[in-house]
Structure 1
Amino acid sequence: MLNEFREFIARGNVIDLAVGVIIGGAFATITKSLTEDIIMPVVGAIFGGVDFSNMFILLGDVPAGVSPTDYAKLKEAGVAMFGYGAFITATINFLILAWIIFLLVKAVNKVVRKGPDAPAGPSEVDILTEIRDELRKK
């Protein structure tokens, strides 16, 4: 069983997948920072200084000592809220990440297509003709 596991791990696909997951996690952190620290402040400034991360609708009672406008503290206190601002930020984050991955895949596909062309082999018709000729000889 240990040998089977070793063979499984040694396959190229498993290693490639592991590397992809690790790089994807790191890339998601960069994209999150891009969204939260650069794009969303610009979008907020365009819409009159709105901070999307603090946009929410209270669904429950606010506990004593917690500001009804502090999203982070309300969330920490377990107050029921509809945090649509955080959802907007996460959606924009996803769209940016998906767009960048699309561009990367598109670039890789271009490079792969421009790679060395494999020599053209015989066509299907040529192979069938050879088979027919060999059968006639017998």
Structure 2
Amino acid sequence: METSPDAPKPTAKDIAAKFRDEINSGKREPGARLPAARHLAKELGVQLMTVQNAYGHLRDEGLVLSQQGRGTFVRNPSAPLGTEPGSSPAFTALAQELNTIHGALQLLGERLDRLERIVGGETPPAR
């Protein structure tokens, strides 16, 4: 990203896109720390809120985790969403909801198996 005084200032979407590309290309590996928001805002000549919004977009996409007082880190994609400290609250809620749905589907599958065994064991009525 250009940081010359004449260059247009990047938006939160621009900043998020830059880091998204770096994460997806493997340039930033899981566990890598993103620059401190204050430092990056000063370097890019943007408001702190702009960088925080960019990091928020990445967090909501499940690409990074933010840990109070430690920073923002690239998330390990092999870990289930919503299970790591610093996960997006939306992903945490979604993970809990999916676990509930998965459990209900498993119970329904077991009931269906029992019903199929019962029905499969019956002989059709004689005509």
TM-score, with length taken from structure 2 = 0.30
Higher helix share: 1
